[in-house]
Amino acid sequence: MQAGGAGQINKGVIISLRKAVILKFTPKELMQFLVNLGEPGYRAKQILEWVYQKGATSFKEMTNLPISLRERLEQTTEIGFLEKITEQVSADGTAKILFNLSDGQGVETVVLPYDIGYSACISTQVGCKMGCIFCASGLPGYIRNLTAAEMMAQVLQAGGSARNRDQELKSLVLMGSGEPLDNWDATIKFLEAVKDPGRLGMSLRHVTLSTSGLVPKIKELAALEFPLTLAVSLHAPNDDLRSKIMPINTKYPLTPLLTACDEYTKATGRRVTYEYILIAGLNDSVDLALELSARLRGRNCHVNLITLNAVPELDLRPSPEVAVRTFRDTLRQKKINVTVRRELGADIAAACGQLRNNYMREC
Ligand code: SF4
């Protein structure tokens, strides 16, 4: 969840002449497309292997295809990659990539260098409707949904960024701009492509989906029994405070939200992660930590404390280190599983949406 800017990025807009896009095809659809071109259907498997597994960025690299087919594909088809506007790499190895979409909108993807393998944090919408008060991505409001192909392009191009550093992507998080469950159809289509052995072939156990707490959609997701990790933005232990921080709470308050999360764990066997951004003087007191522990007591869950990445446009400050430690220790004393998320990429406009917002200002 996070995102966009009011205008369009007007540099280097790609004008697509309605070529077919490989990332939009299922294996079966690509096979049919090739058969319609008079090619054997088995070429589909070869093409998908090049795109999803071998990191090919052009048809020219697909050396087990006949030259005539490669040329034909160049003329009629595109893989579906996004135009990279900029990639900033932090001192700690975090990379933030700003992409230009085919309609001139911009979107951010982050590559995170964890010890257990690289992770890609992708966006699911340009802008966002949810209006969380700490979020740079939501500042411009909602602009549009991303397609499943645009989400997959971010993953593959983030994979390219990792490969440039001799690393591989081991996990994905849907935690960039946008609320993934508010873009339900495309998000589910994307997840199908992620787990499809004929495409990305990544277990959904390595995928985390972050939501602001759309209760009906959490229930629908539970019914699908995908083994992904659900990360729910909580940020407050009571409705009054949460509604101030996250307006969506007025529609889906804490009690039904936590009940839906319990149902999710029951259906999938997966422990829910509750994200809690610590904002100085707003939600970081010991009393609130005690209230949170009372709310979560007995639940199979994990709390992820996050230090706020300050956004210049917003008048909020991160909690001081001592407050973060005290909040964590209070939860620990109450036997709540809790970690403090390591801050990555602080030197490169780390809050989601900041890179794009900075770029929009420069434009
Ligand atoms: S934090 Fe809130 S406003 Fe920002 S992208 Fe996520 S849901 Fe949208």
Per-residue pLDDT tens listing for the chain (363 residues) = 543 333 344 444 444 458 999 999 999 999 999 999 999 999 999 999 999 999 999 999 999 999 999 999 999 999 999 999 999 998 888 999 999 999 999 999 999 998 888 999 999 999 999 999 999 887 888 999 999 999 999 999 999 999 999 999 999 999 999 999 999 999 999 999 999 999 999 999 999 999 999 999 999 999 999 999 999 999 999 999 999 999 999 999 999 999 999 999 999 999 999 999 999 999 999 999 999 999 999 999 999 999 998 887 788 999 999 999 999 999 999 999 999 987 776 666 555 666 666 665 565
CA distance 21 to 101: 14
Query: 134: CA distance to ligand 1 center in Å?
Result: 8
Burial 81-116 (b: 16+ CB within 10 A, else e): bbbebebbbbeebbbbbbbbbbebbbbbbbbbbeee
The continuous run of DSSP H or E covering 185 comes out as helix 184-195
Nearest to 174 by CA among 131, 250, 130, 232: 232
DSSP assignment of 187-215, as one string?
HHHHHHHHH-TTTT---GGGEEEEES--H
Asked if 37 contacts 208 with a C-beta cutoff of 8 angstroms, the reply is: no
Q: Is 3 in the pocket of ligand 1 (CB under 6 A)?
A: yes
Select the CATH number that applies to the domain covering 21-78 from these four: 3.40.50.2300, 1.10.150.530, 3.40.50.1370, 3.30.499.10: 1.10.150.530
Q: In what side-by-side order are the strands of the sheet with 207-211?
A: 83-89, 95-100, 106-114, 117-122, 169-174, 207-211, 229-233, 272-278, 301-307, 338-340
pTM score, whole prediction: 0.91
Does the CB atom of residue 179 touch ligand 1 within 6 A?
yes
How many A from CA of 107 to the centre of ligand 1? 14
Q: From ligand 1's centre to the CA of 188, what distance in Å?
A: 19
In the chain, which segments carry CATH 3.20.20.70?
Answer: 83-362
The answer to whether domain 83-362 has CATH 3.20.20.70 is yes
Instruction: Return the active site residues.
Output: 108, 352
Question: Which candidate, 78, 84, 87, 76, places its Cα nearest to that of 38?
Answer: 76
Rounded Cα distance between 334 and 133, Å, is 29
